[in-house]
Chain A
Amino acid sequence: MMLKVDDIEFKYRSTPILDEVSFSVEAAEVVSILGPNGVGKTTLLKCINGILKAKKGTVMVGKESLTDMSRLEIAKRVGYVAQKSDTSMATVFESVLLGRKPYVRWDVTREDVRVAGEMIDRLGLSDLSMKYIGEISGGEFQMVQIARALVQDPKILLLDEPTSNLDLSNQVRIMSLIKDTVEQNNISAILTMHDLNLAIRHSNRFILLKEGRIYAAGGVEVLTPDVIGEVYGIPVCVETIRGQPVVVPA
């Protein structure tokens, strides 16, 4: 088992956001966290990598507890692609190289530069490498963010709405990249998603949150009209097209 989240509880001031959230993720698995806006999806990701301190509960990566680790040590094990990221005055190469920060002692080494360069070349971002982040498209920026998380050499990849604001082609491209990377490197990815059909196509398992608790979890079989309707509060149909379930509002 790669990741085990046990009994996470988080409150903002006195308002409970997450309560008794427990699940585990296997190696080479992509898990999508689903649920309406404000249900606690992003908070859950932040609790996993220690950006937010959970009031209760533990997070284990393999046999190591992230709960007791420093931020820097967590960053060596968990790569995080935030929903909001600033377009700083950095080039694409500099942005990807930043992913080596948890390993930097005094300065980046030639090896760090090589690792970042290789990732950029492999993702097909070579032609953009010396461009400023502000000069590239939204899809390319998302690729850069994922590249930055990957050069952290993480065991767990957390991605907060990785396909939001992307066109159809970039959505598929990013999701394929995540799935292939996870499978080839035997790591795990946890995503928060709004597009149920994209999640169904590219994820192994699903966790549906309702009012800060896990309402349902499992493979594609848990995504029934009743469950989705209950979680999102609207009636839906689940039809099968080319052997794959497709969620359609009723």
Chain B
Amino acid sequence: MMKLSEEKFNNTNSAPVTRSSDRYLRYIARKTLFLISCIILLFVMMIISVSVGTLSIPMEEIVRSLVGLESNYSNIVWHIRMPRVLAGIVAGASLAVAGAVMQSILKNPLASPYTLGLSQSAAFGAAFAIIFLGAGSAISGTTGTVIVNNPYIVTIMAFVWALVGMTFIMILSAMTRVSPEAMILAGVAIAAIFQAGTTALQFFADSIQLSSIVYWTFGDIGRVTWSQCGVLIAIMIPTLAYFIYNRWNYNAMDAGEETARGLGVDTGRMRIIGMILSSLLSAVVVSFMGIIGFIGLVAPHITRRVIGGDHRFLIPGSALIGAILLMGSDTLARTIISPMVVPVGVITAFLGGPLFIYLLVKGYKK
């Protein structure tokens, strides 16, 4: 341990009441308490979310269904509400964590799956599948609503094109030595290109195909099945584990490129792997559920504002806040003009936009 002559450097203005490390440990305890509170809130909201909807389910019946006892509501709980709630939790957590990591490694508060063009490239893939692979040209005879009649092709194409978008970003940024600025600018360029591509495809689409494309781009959690939930979880858990494992590297990168390298971090490698995994995470969510904006942008900002930028707490905190926001938005989407269901992407944008402006103004005032 380094020695220093205390009398020479001690701040004589005011002696510390307690040692800094004690204060820090109390500070850490408060952050831990925040995470625990979020877990409790998530659980409460999960129960509420399963309960409300076109048909209200009493709490007692939810518990009976969940523990396997006989209930009239078992089918609704297990086959309609639970996959939706679970998908909301997993997708919200995935988008938020992807946003938190992107914002850190790119050193840009605007970085998110949406602003980096991944959502736009996935939307292009979906539009391509609907128009050229015949995946979305049917109208329900009874309700007149548009049905994507081959969701698997749409999902696969959305995913493939999201990866194509990500690959473009990585190649462009590698050509410029993987700088954060290059990655952001490449993302903006990719977003513009794929947005233009989707518009061009829409120009050639007939009215039903056009409706299908618009329908797909509305983010909707209700499309997700149990097996798709399984895929989302299978990708989220190892990715989240990787991000949590590297939390100290992200902390170092927050302090600046050179400081991080001086602390032994291979910043280029961290940035490439972080971008690939966060893009993969968001690509899976977008391809299953369509475009859900603002969760990836807002959830990390809310978490940062409450518990600061330490990635040991920021990553799990963002995941929890993202899950709460998306599940809460979906619950609102199902109840606000029940029995109609508003696309959750509309709710997240309506809630997220003003919330983001509020955080921005509050931040600047400070």
Contacts and interface: CB of A to CB of B under 8 A. Distances in A.
A101 B263 contact: yes
A121 interface: yes
B2 A121 contact: no
B2 A89 contact: no
Query: How many of chain A's residues touch chain B, expressed as a range?
Result: 35 or more
Given A71-B266, A181-B4, A91 B261 contact: no
A25 interface: no
B251 interface: yes
A65 interface: no
10 contacts: A86-B256, A89-B309, A90-B309, A91-B308, A101-B252, A118-B21, A121-B20, A123-B9, A176-B8, A180-B5
A107 interface: yes
A181 B1 CA distance: 11
Contact of A51 (B2, B252, B261, B312): B261
Nearest to B8: A180
Given A83-B258, A95-B255, A185-B3, 6 more contacts: A76-B264, A82-B256, A102-B264, A117-B24, A119-B4, A127-B11
Contacts of B339: none
Contacts of A99: 263
B263 A102 contact: yes
Contact of A121 (B13, B16, B259): B16
A89 B258 contact: no
Interface in B239-266: 248, 251-252, 254-256, 258-259, 261-266
Interface in B1-54: 1-6, 8-14, 16, 19-25, 27
A117 B26 CA distance: 13
Query: How many of chain B's residues touch chain A, expressed as a range?
Result: 35 or more
Nearest to A117: B21
Contacts of A76: 264
Nearest to A85: B256
A240 interface: no
A234 interface: no
Contact of A72 (B8, B256, B264): B264
B61 interface: no
B3 A184 contact: yes
Contacts of B259: 80, 82, 85-86, 145, 148
B20 A117 contact: yes
B24 A113 contact: yes
Nearest to A106: B245
A47 B316 CA distance: 37
Given A88-B254, A93-B23, A113-B21, A123 B4 contact: yes
A242 interface: no
B261 A71 contact: yes
Interface string A144-174: 0100111111000010000000000000000
Interface of B: 1-6, 8-14, 16, 19-25, 27, 107, 248, 251-252, 254-256, 258-259, 261-266, 304, 308-310, 312
A104 B107 contact: no
Contact of A74 (B24, B264, B304): B264
A140 to B, nearest CB: 10
Contacts of B8: 176, 180
A163 B97 CA distance: 38
A116 interface: yes
A107 B32 CA distance: 15
Contacts of B6: 122
Contact of A98 (B3, B19, B107, B263): B263
A126 B20 contact: yes
A109 to B, nearest CB: 12
B363 to A, nearest CB: 10
Nearest to B245: A106
B15 to A, nearest CB: 8
Given A153-B2, A185-B3, A101 B264 contact: yes
Interface in A105-132: 107, 113-127, 129-130, 132
Closest CB pairs A-B (n = 9): A117-B21, A124-B11, A80-B262, A89-B309, A126-B16, A72-B264, A75-B264, A82-B258, A88-B254
Interface string A41-58: 000001001010000000
Contact of A124 (B3, B10, B262, B264): B10
B263 to A, nearest CB: 5
Nearest to A92: B20
B133 to A, nearest CB: 45
A177 interface: yes
A115 B1 contact: yes
A63 B38 CA distance: 52
A115 B21 CA distance: 9
Given A104-B248, A122-B10, A150-B2, A49 B262 contact: yes
A24 to B, nearest CB: 22
